[in-house]
């Protein structure tokens, strides 16, 4: 009712309001004056009425002025309220107003638009928290954080990031802030809630995008890296980090190539970087070397491109590379294999499943008189008069059954002449492609020699084992003595290579030198170890003579052999007595020095380490004195057994110099500490009690270690320094080992 009256008063202009005020005041004043005068004097005089009129005019004017001022202020306040209401309504930020009892007084439309809640849905703070934070734990945490921010009135409310569940069930990320408003009698909380869901989603999307990019970089089967304008590494994938000898990509950040294992190639890499950055053009698929952390040089196929920012400015270089070392090796092997086939003096044919020639080498063209273009596309039965086209399907099936088809046939040259050949056919399949590769050996000369060999058959049978081979070392003939010595019957040996007797003892260099002597001098003789048919290895004295035709070309080889097993047994026994200790059967000083010379030569070639352990038994003399030399000898044998158990590598040597002195030679070491580990093992083993003829003996040992090349470059200096180190160990209290030191012990 009061708001309606105020509204009507505001619509009346000031002059009308004054008239109304005067009229009402005059009527009220004159009535009161007249009544009062009548009651007092029983009469109504004009003077009193005039005085009342003047008073009413003055009072009415004063009251009217006050009303007008009040209405003006009320109008101004109403305008402010309208503006404030308009601002709150139009504010694009959700807003809520709570009173001091946590009852919700107002929500702006944006609040309802963003969260869906209306005033009736959340009449107070508790109702808002129950719906906005359904998780009790999260609700309690937010409530505590909210209360903490309001505990100190002197500090500004710190914004709080929260997650709000909307009325429709969706969650939104919100940054909220609040402030207290109102006087001391009535404090209210004005809460602003900024919807930051899009920003959070954008940040998550950016993080996911970066994670995806990093995943792609890590998954790509190549090394990826990027540098700044000064060629400092800004990032890389894990494969690149491992190439640099690091386990984490972060370890490379800020480094330059001079600080990595490929420092020798750093200037070359830096020049490539500058070229790419200055030209703003990529440099693609070029090959360059790289040194690995292990010191091995590998070959890379590298591509580099300018690294640009969002403005298109070059800020560095982006590079990728792949290790093509193995690929290059395969390419070289393929080239070598093709070259070997092309240059071979054996005709080579490659046939498809239909029998058509797909490839031939140079010698095949030479032997048949056709060009390569003429032979490719021909069938073998076109130049093999003994092969029928109908037989090919059977031959192909045999080849597919993994059978090697080998037989003699004849080939017809382009000029019509015919010559005998030996064919060896193989089958291969790769990526769905089936092929046969066939070697055709011209055996014209072999056929001729067969006749000559038959003539010499009588002379062939002798007391010595004999064999005759062709120029390819294929056995053509053996005598009875050969069978008695090797166990191979004639039919078993013929057609085989001479290496049928190979024992595996001799290396490739031995045979290379043997055949070089035969090629140069026409003969070789010497001692060789061969293998019988039953697998036994035996020594023989072998003589191989080359048989040449008038042109000086080798056509055959004649080999004679004598079994020297008995003689070798005697020699070996004598050799063993000369080089091994009679008591322990360990190598003696002579054999040790010989092996030491060989080990030093090998270490010098390979630039590796070797160690000499000079061992002397402690307390050995009391054993001899107390229990006799028989017990002492048995103790030395047991010591030898334990030393051999500690030194397990075949390349190492355990030797006895005499008395209670032993020397262990350790070859091909990669670090000094390896010798120390062996010494510790020996000390531990020899510290264990020995039980000899029911006597329990406790001894120890002192070990001196000299390492090549640090402690000596020759055998004598190493032995001397190892001996000195052993005495240093004895001076240190015995039962220990010491590495040689030129300064120790004076």
Burial of 729 (0-12, 13-18, 19+ CB in 10 A): buried
| Coil vs helix vs strand at 384 | coil
**CB burial of residue 485 (10 Å; 0-12, 13-18, 19+):** buried
**35-to-22, 211, 561 alpha-carbon distances in Å:** 20, 98, 173
Sign of CA dihedral 356, 362, 368, 372: positive
Does the annotation mark 660 as catalytic?
yes
Cα–Cα distance for residue pair 389/198, rounded to 1 Å: 79
CA distance 287 to 281: 17
CA distance 57 to 49: 12
Number of H helices, E strands in the chain: 24, 27
| Sheet with strand 171-181: strands edge to edge | 104-107, 95-98, 188-195, 171-181, 160-165
| Cα 692 from Cα 705, distance rounded (Å) | 29
- DSSP alpha helix (H) spans, 556-628: 565-579, 589-606, 620-627
- 3-state SS, 80-138, equals HHHHHHHHHHHCCCCEEEECCCCEEEEECHHHHHHHCCCCCCCCEHHHHHHHHCCCHHH
Q: What's the CA gap between 304 and 323, in Å, rounded?
A: 15
CB 410 within 8 A of CB 385: yes
The 10 Å Cβ neighbour count of residue 523 is 12
* Strand partners of residue 701: 617
| Dist CA 687 CA 458 (whole Å) | 71
393 backbone dihedrals φ, ψ, rounded to 5°: -60, -40
Catalytic position from the list 195, 243, 660, 711: 660
Whole-angstrom CA distances from 195 to 111, 162, 174, 390 are: 10, 10, 5, 87
* Helix, strand, coil percentages in the chain from 3-state DSSP, rounded to 5: 45, 25, 25
107 by Cβ neighbours in 10 Å (0-12 / 13-18 / 19+) ranks as buried
CA distance 667 to 596: 9
Q: Partners of 695 in the beta sheet?
A: 692
Q: Using the 8-state DSSP alphabet, how is residue 580 labeled?
A: B
Catalytic site positions: 660
């Amino acid at each position: 009712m009061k708001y309606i009256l105020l509204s009507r008063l505001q619509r009346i202009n000031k002059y009308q309001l004054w008239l109304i005020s005067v009229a009402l005041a005059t009527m009220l004043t004159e009535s009161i004056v007249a009544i009062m005068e009548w009651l007092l004097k029983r009469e109504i005089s004009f003077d009193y009425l005039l005085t009342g009129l003047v008073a009413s005019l003055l009072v009415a004017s004063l009251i009217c002025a006050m009303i007008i001022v009040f209405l003006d202020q009320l109008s101004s306040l109403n305008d402010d309220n309208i503006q404030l209401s308009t601002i709150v309504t139009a504010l694009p930020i959700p807003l809520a107003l709570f009173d001091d009892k946590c009852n919700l007084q107002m929500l702006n439309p944006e609040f309802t638009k963003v969260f869906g809640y209306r005033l009736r849905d959340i009449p107070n703070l508790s109702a808002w928290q129950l719906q906005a934070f359904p998780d009790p734990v999260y609700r309690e945490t937010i409530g505590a954080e909210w209360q903490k921010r309001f505990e100190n009135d002197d500090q500004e409310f710190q914004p709080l990031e929260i997650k709000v569940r909307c009325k429709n069930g969706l969650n939104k990320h919100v940054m909220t802030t609040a402030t207290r408003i109102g006087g001391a009698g009535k404090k209210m909380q004005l809460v602003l809630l900024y919807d930051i869901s899009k920003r959070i989603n954008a940040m998550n999307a950016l993080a996911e995008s970066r994670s995806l990019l990093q995943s792609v970089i890590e998954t790509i089967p190549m090394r990826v890296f990027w540098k700044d304008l000064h060629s400092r590494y800004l990032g890389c994938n894990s494969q690149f980090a491992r190439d640099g000898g690091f386990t984490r990509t972060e370890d490379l950040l800020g480094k330059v190539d001079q600080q990595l294992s490929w420092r020798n190639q750093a200037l070359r890499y830096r020049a490539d970087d500058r070229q790419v950055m200055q030209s703003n053009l990529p440099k693609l698929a070029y090959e360059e070397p790289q040194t690995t952390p292990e010191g091995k040089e590998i070959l890379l196929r590298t591509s580099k491109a300018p690294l640009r920012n969002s403005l298109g400015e070059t800020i560095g270089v982006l590079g990728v590379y792949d290790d093509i070392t193995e690929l290059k090796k395969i390419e070289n092997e393929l080239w070598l294999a093709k070259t070997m086939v092309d240059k071979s003096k054996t005709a080579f044919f490659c046939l498809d499943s239909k029998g058509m020639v797909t490839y031939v080498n140079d010698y095949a063209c030479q032997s048949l008189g056709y060009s390569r273009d003429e032979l490719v596309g021909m069938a073998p039965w076109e130049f093999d008069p003994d092969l029928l086209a109908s037989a090919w399907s059977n031959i192909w099936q045999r080849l597919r059954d993994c059978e090697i088809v080998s037989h003699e046939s004849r080939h017809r040259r382009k000029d019509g002449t015919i010559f005998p050949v030996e064919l060896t056919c193989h089958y291969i399949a790769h990526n769905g492609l089936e092929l046969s590769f066939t070697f055709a050996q011209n055996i014209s000369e072999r056929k001729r020699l067969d006749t000559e060999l038959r003539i010499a058959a009588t002379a062939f049978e002798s007391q010595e084992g004999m064999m005759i081979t062709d120029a390819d070392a294929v056995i053509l003939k053996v005598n009875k003595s050969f069978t008695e010595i090797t166990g191979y019957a004639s039919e078993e040996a013929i057609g085989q290579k001479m290496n049928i007797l190979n024992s595996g003892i001799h290396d490739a260099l031995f045979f290379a030198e043997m055949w070089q002597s035969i090629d140069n001098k026409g003969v070789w003789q010497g001692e060789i170890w061969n293998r019988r048919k039953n697998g036994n290895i035996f020594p023989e004295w072998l003589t191989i003579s080359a048989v040449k035709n008038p042109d000086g070309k080798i056509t055959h080889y004649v080999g004679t052999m004598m079994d020297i097993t008995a003689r070798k047994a005697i020699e070996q026994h004598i050799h063993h007595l000369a080089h091994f200790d009679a008591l322990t059967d360990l190598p003696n000083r002579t054999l040790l020095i010989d092996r030491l010379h060989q080990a030093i030569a090998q270490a010098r070639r390979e630039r590796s380490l070797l160690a000499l352990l000079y061992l002397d038994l402690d307390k050995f003399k009391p054993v001899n004195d107390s229990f006799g030399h028989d017990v002492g000898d048995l103790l030395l044998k047991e010591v030898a057994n334990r030393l051999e158990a500690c030194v397990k590598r075949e390349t190492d040597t355990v030797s006895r110099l005499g008395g209670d002195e032993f020397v262990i030679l350790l070859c091909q070491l990669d670090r000094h500490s390896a010798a120390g580990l062996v010494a510790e093992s020996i000390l531990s083993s020899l510290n264990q009690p020995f039980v000899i003829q029911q006597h329990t003996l406790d001894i120890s040992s002192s070990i001196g270690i000299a390492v090549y090349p640090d402690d000596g470059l020759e055998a004598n200096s190493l032995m001397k320094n190892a001996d000195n180190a052993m005495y240093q160990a004895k001076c240190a209290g015995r039962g220990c080992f010491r590495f040689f030191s030129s300064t120790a012990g004076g």
